């Protein structure tokens, strides 16, 4: 006989769903404006993203029917598959703009590095939840998590995709700090991080990646080339003033001064058209959604649920922080999109699945006591 626990509906996360719909509505509105062509109307990009949102919402509701403990079980197998896809992109995918990131599936260009971030969260959460380390993690306890992170990190870095690789590293650091380290371990990791940063800058970064960082420090030194993106983004955001220029009235975006206006610099278009007031409303909704995700992590009924919800929240949080700081000139341009807002099917579906996992943990946060099924 089919058993359905009514408490799942009682604990359905309406708050997270509402925030997702609000952010998604603003994202599609912004995309409509940034890609609108006067002669032909809305771009096909807008319709594709709307379809991706519909697919993402469907996947969320499917995901909610499966207990998150069962979702984690095939995590290592799916992690292995995504590593194979990352290897495939390095050897069998044609480079686009100097990067080998996308696999053409005919109806959809899959970017394996995007779901790789979510699968990394699944395997790290499984590893940390099953470990018993009284007193905090020692260095030898982190061998497995480090290896799990290093494999996708290196493969993504070789594409090359510095921004996504850094997100993988930041996810590892965030989740590791969340499960508690010994102070001695933390000191060793900090020192190792500084050494890795030096070695990476000296020997691993490509010339254009170094140029991006140098441009961030002084964009005016090369205003017509590498500094162009940052300067135009600042102009767009600043020109919006308090209430913005109005929907579809932004000059930086519509006159094509602003590059990548529907991907990396999507929020610059929003800031120009809706101004400080509109930006404040968007960011309030966006970060309330993330604060709610942290609340779900704190209220989870077990260690696995808590780590999963925290990892998924950090996935969206750090991408958002890096993107927003990037468009305001506080960080170098590293190609990190604004989750749920920038155009991109692989990124959107990955982040919506992360939201689905947070909602899943929230729905099952009640203490299992007497059955309440029908």
Write out pLDDT tens, residues 287-334.
Answer: 999 999 999 999 999 999 999 999 999 999 999 999 999 888 788 777
Whether residue 2 has pLDDT greater than 50: no
3-state secondary structure at position 5: strand
* Cross-strand bridge partners of residue 103: 110
Question: DSSP of 237-249, one letter per residue?
Answer: HHHTTTT-S-TT-
Whether residue 373 has pLDDT greater than 80: no
Please list, in sequence order, all residues whose beta carbon lies within 8 angstroms of the beta carbon of residue 64, skipping any fewer than 6 positions away. 12, 356, 359, 360, 363
Number of domains in the chain: 1
* pLDDT computed for residue 105 by the predictor: 85
Q: Note down the domain range covering 130.
A: 7-363
* Mean pLDDT of the chain, nearest integer: 85
End-to-end CA distance of the chain: 10
Is residue 204 situated within a structural domain? yes
Is residue 1 situated within a structural domain? no
pLDDT, average across residues 151-173: 92
pLDDT, average across residues 84-112: 84
pLDDT, average across residues 210-219: 60
CA distance 52 to 193: 37
Do 370 and 11 touch, CB atoms closer than 8 A?
no
Is residue 306 situated within a structural domain? yes
Is residue 36 situated within a structural domain? yes
Distances (CA, A) of 254 to 23, 247, 250, 266: 22, 11, 6, 12
* pLDDT computed for residue 92 by the predictor: 85
pLDDT digits (tens, 9 = 90+) for 174-201: 999 998 887 777 888 788 878 877 777 6
Whether residue 48 has pLDDT greater than 70: yes
CA distance 171 to 149: 9
pTM equals: 0.88
Whether residue 213 has pLDDT greater than 80: no
Distances (CA, A) of 272 to 250, 258, 267: 6, 11, 9
* pLDDT computed for residue 111 by the predictor: 92
Span of 26-35, 141-150, 312-321, 323-332 with lowest mean pLDDT: 323-332
Highest mean pLDDT among 5-9, 57-61, 135-139, 221-225: 57-61
Is residue 2 situated within a structural domain? no
* pLDDT computed for residue 193 by the predictor: 77
Whether residue 138 has pLDDT greater than 50: yes
pLDDT, average across residues 206-231: 61
pLDDT, average across residues 241-258: 77
Do 269 and 33 touch, CB atoms closer than 8 A?
yes
* pLDDT computed for residue 144 by the predictor: 93
Is residue 371 situated within a structural domain? no
Is residue 317 situated within a structural domain? yes
Is residue 117 situated within a structural domain? yes
């Amino acid at each position: 006989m089919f058993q359905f626990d009514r408490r799942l509906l009682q604990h359905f996360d309406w708050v997270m769903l509402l925030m997702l719909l609000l952010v998604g509505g603003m994202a599609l509105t912004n995309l409509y404006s940034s890609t609108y062509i006067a002669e032909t109307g809305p771009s096909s990009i807008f319709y594709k993203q709307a379809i991706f949102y519909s697919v993402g919402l469907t996947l969320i509701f499917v995901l909610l029917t499966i207990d998150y403990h069962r979702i984690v079980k095939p995590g290592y197998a799916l992690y292995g598959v995504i590593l194979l896809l990352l290897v495939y992109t390095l050897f069998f995918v044609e480079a686009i703009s100097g990067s080998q990131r996308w696999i053409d599936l005919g109806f959809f260009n899959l970017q394996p590095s995007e779901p790789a971030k979510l699968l990394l969260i699944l395997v790290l959460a499984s590893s940390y939840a099953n470990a018993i380390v009284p007193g905090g993690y020692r260095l030898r306890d982190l061998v497995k998590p480090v290896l799990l992170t290093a494999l996708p990190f290196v493969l993504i870095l070789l594409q090359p995709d510095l921004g996504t690789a850094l997100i993988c590293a930041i996810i590892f650091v965030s989740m590791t700090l969340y499960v508690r380290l010994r102070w001695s371990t933390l000191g060793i990791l900090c020192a190792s991080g500084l050494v890795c940063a030096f070695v990476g800058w000296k020997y691993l970064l490509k010339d254009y990646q170094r140029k991006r960082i140098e441009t961030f420090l002084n964009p005016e030194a090369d205003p017509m080339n590498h500094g162009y993106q940052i300067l135009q983004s600042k102009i767009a955001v600043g020109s919006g003033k308090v209430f913005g220029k109005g929907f579809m009235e932004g000059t930086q975006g519509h006159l094509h001064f602003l590059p990548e206006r529907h991907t990396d610099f999507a929020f610059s278009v929003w800031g120009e058209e809706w101004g400080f007031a509109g930006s404040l409303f968007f960011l309030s909704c966006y970060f309330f959604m993330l604060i709610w995700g942290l609340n779900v992590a704190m209220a989870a009924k077990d260690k696995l649920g808590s780590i999963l919800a925290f990892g998924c929240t950090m996935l969206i949080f750090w991408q958002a922080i890096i993107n927003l700081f990037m468009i305001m000139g506080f960080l170098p341009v590293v190609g990190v999109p604004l989750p749920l807002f920038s155009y991109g099917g692989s990124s959107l579906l990955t982040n919506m699945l992360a939201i689905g996992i947070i909602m899943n943990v929230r729905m099952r946060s009640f203490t299992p006591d007497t059955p309440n099924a029908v």
